[in-house]
A and B are shown apart, each in its own frame.
Chain A
Amino acid sequence: MKKEDQFKSRVYWNPYFGGFLLGLLIIFTFYITGRGLGASGALKSVVVTTTDVIATEHAHSNKYYSQFLDSDDSPMNNWLVFEALGMLFGAFVSGAIAGRLKLKVEHSPKITSTRRLVFALVGGALFGFGAQIARGCTSGAALSGISVLSTGGFITMLSIFGSGFLVAYLFRKNWI
């Protein structure tokens, strides 16, 4: 067990090193584009586009979707979608170099894979829903927001981490 622990800490980057590089990347992104990083926006584009293809009239009459369908450009054709494609590729390359590419369900030995997948699906739905209400997720609202001292970014960050600690006890069986 001890040996495995040491092995893990060697294969992942030192968190301060990763954080430092991520900070430089945020500076670079703001310097070039005037905006920060994002993640949930790309998935919103996928949802808007899918709805538009399946139910065009419905999408255009919906007050939320229609905000993103006004222009002639497809919502897939935006910055965040390309960024997300780059993210998938970058994470894949990192995983490939470190030998972490493996199809598996990661879960605590105390719970089943099915339970893990159900909670992942429900947790994802909550997160997606909350990210729309707060106008951004951990990347776009909290991290990029704090980088420019946005008041909203700080409130969102405190709310995400604060509520996480509040509900951690309820979900402890899934993790520890």
Chain B
Amino acid sequence: MGPLIPNGLIPIEWNFVISILIGFAFGYILEASGFSSSRKLVGVFYGYDFAVLKVFFTAAAVAVIGLYYMDYLNWLDISQLYIQPTYLWAAIAGGFIMGTGFLAGGYCPGTSLAGVAIGKIDAIAFTVGLMIGIFAFSELYEVLEPLFTASNLGNPTLADSFGISPYMLILGFSLCAIIAFYVSDKVRAKVKKVIY
């Protein structure tokens, strides 16, 4: 039963081979979907291109449905999967800074690597910026630690936080995604085209 490596079903030595192959597929999908272009990425915030919204929410819906279905079939133990901890204020503040960086820089870390790979000089600048930002955080860590570690809620899922069945949450999430796709097409038809 999965996950395979944590349960010792694949030797740990295979880890790096697998990580390169997964990375290859990830980079390929991002680039082929147009995510190596900053002007395509930010389109979602101005209403002229909703590829980010469509790719992101399709991927999330497929993944969450698939993982819970595999758990239902006993192919995978979902309780063994890594769920990142929820630090309420750090998630909100960090997300806010990332959103601002997204609009200023036009990329996020994964997509900037895709941009670097095909020769986008602005993506190279963004990636250098990322490292400067990480360095700045590390140097200021002692000052930021109270925010970084405030209101630790453990590792809850939405099912834990709201006491709702995960299957109902997944249904609700998928419906929201479909509505968002429909609305995005309506908006795009009304917004002035941007050629890039």
The answer to whether B108 touches A27 (Cβ under 8 A) is no
A159 and B97 CA atoms in complex are apart in Å by 9
The answer to whether B109 touches A137 (Cβ under 8 A) is yes
Contacts of B77-130 to chain A: CB distance below 8 A = 78, 80-88, 90-123, 125-130
A43 and B109 CA atoms in complex are apart in Å by 9
Known: A63-B142, A83-B20. A151 touches B156 (CB 8 A): yes
A24 and B93 CA atoms in complex are apart in Å by 30
Question: Shortest beta-carbon distance, B130 to chain A, in Å?
Answer: 4
A28 and B5 CA atoms in complex are apart in Å by 12
User: B10, B31, B91: which contacts A91 (Cβ < 8 A)?
Assistant: B31
A148 and B122 CA atoms in complex are apart in Å by 33
The answer to whether A13 touches B32 (Cβ under 8 A) is yes
Interface of B (DSSP majority class): helix
The answer to whether A150 touches B86 (Cβ under 8 A) is yes
Known: A129-B136, A138-B109. A12 touches B34 (CB 8 A): yes
User: A31, A102, A162, A168: which contacts B2 (Cβ < 8 A)?
Assistant: A31
A16 and B40 CA atoms in complex are apart in Å by 15
User: B28, B50, B64, B123: which contacts A90 (Cβ < 8 A)?
Assistant: B28
The answer to whether A124 touches B130 (Cβ under 8 A) is yes
Name the interface size band of chain A: 35 or more
Residues of A within 8 A of B21 (CB): 86
Number of A-B residue pairs with CB-CB distance less than 8 Å in the complex they form: 516
Known: A36-B82, A43-B109. A133 touches B148 (CB 8 A): yes
Contacts of B128-173 to chain A: CB distance below 8 A = 128-139, 141-142, 144-145, 147-148, 153, 155-161, 166, 169-170, 173
Contacts of A74-130 to chain B: CB distance below 8 A = 79-80, 82-95, 98, 100-108, 113, 116-117, 119-130
Residues of B within 8 A of A168 (CB): 42, 45-46, 103
Residues of A within 8 A of B67 (CB): 27, 30, 147-148
The answer to whether A171 touches B104 (Cβ under 8 A) is yes
The answer to whether B137 touches A128 (Cβ under 8 A) is yes
Known: A19-B56, A89-B24. A30 touches B141 (CB 8 A): no
Known: A120-B123, A149-B159. A128 touches B81 (CB 8 A): no
Question: Shortest beta-carbon distance, A74 to chain B, in Å?
Answer: 13
Closest 3 CB pairs of A and B: A123-B105, A124-B129, A86-B23
